[in-house]
Chains A and B, each alone.
Chain A
Amino acid sequence: DAGVIQSPRHEVTEMGQEVTLRCKPISGHNSLFWYRQTMMRGLELLIYFNNNVPIDDSGMPEDRFSAKMPNASFSTLKIQPSEPRDSAVYFCASRFGGGAPNEKLFFGSGTQLSVL
């Protein structure tokens, strides 16, 4: 099992550019979560999906952020246009069991985003 796969591992871009982060969840997992981690705010939930459907996007900071899950094996988080305050580590996590709240999350290694 390869685990949750995120790409790229590091992304450096200039303010105003579009950024796309990618995630491949563990096969068979029904839920997918996008988190952002900074020193100041810790690990913040941005959005999560169940069975490819967005359930709660209340953590998405602004309209500049959007997320999609076109199928069970792929999700993207897009920032357009990017700003320096978006610099953070972005994690994707998946969970087996769809709506089962007692199931654990499996995290990817994260994407370190730097917006200059």
Chain B
Amino acid sequence: SQKIEQNSEALNIQEGKTATLTCNYTNYSPAYLQWYRQDPGRGPVFLLLIRENEKEKRKERLKVTFDTTLKQSLFHITASQPADSATYLCALVPGGYQKVTFGTGTKLQVIP
């Protein structure tokens, strides 16, 4: 069956360090992979998109990698700040299809 797995346990890191979140998938052939941020009591907010033929994408302090051989995406936040504390969700979009399926999310806590 299809699965999208993210670290179920919360990730605690010190302010200023780089946070790395993982998204692994099985039985999918995504053409696109998206990352969203969700704050408590709010809906998810889009951050970045990466295509299957792209290895890496950057936006300010954010970096996403996509390895279709390992079936994995890594999401990095450099120089992390307490304001980065939130739940981060990855989402997969199969090629030729429009359905957007989310992972369970990883809660990030940046400690001052």
Contacts and interface: CB of A to CB of B under 8 A. Distances in A.
Contacts of A93: 43
Interface string A34-75: 010000011101001010000110000000000000000000
Given A101-B95, A102-B31, 9 more contacts: A42-B103, A43-B44, A55-B98, A56-B99, A101-B94, A102-B32, A102-B93, A107-B45, A110-B43
Given A55-B98, A105-B100, A110-B43, A43 B89 contact: yes
B43 A108 contact: yes
Chain B interface size, under 10 / 10 to 19 / 20 to 34 / 35 or more? 20 to 34
A45 B99 contact: yes
Nearest to B50: A102
B34 interface: yes
B49 interface: yes
Contacts of B34: 104-105
B49 to A, nearest CB: 6
Interface secondary structure of A, over-half rule:
strand
A88 to B, nearest CB: 14
Interface string A83-116: 0000000010100000111101111111000000
Interface string B88-105: 010101111111111111
16 contacts: A35-B102, A42-B102, A42-B103, A45-B101, A48-B98, A50-B98, A91-B44, A101-B93, A101-B94, A101-B97, A101-B98, A102-B32, A104-B49, A107-B43, A109-B42, A110-B41
Nearest to A98: B98
Contacts of B36: 105
Nearest to A106: B46
B51 interface: yes
Interface of A: 4, 31, 33, 35, 41-43, 45, 48, 50, 55-56, 91, 93, 99-102, 104-110
Nearest to B32: A102
A105 B105 contact: no
A31 B44 CA distance: 17
A46 to B, nearest CB: 11
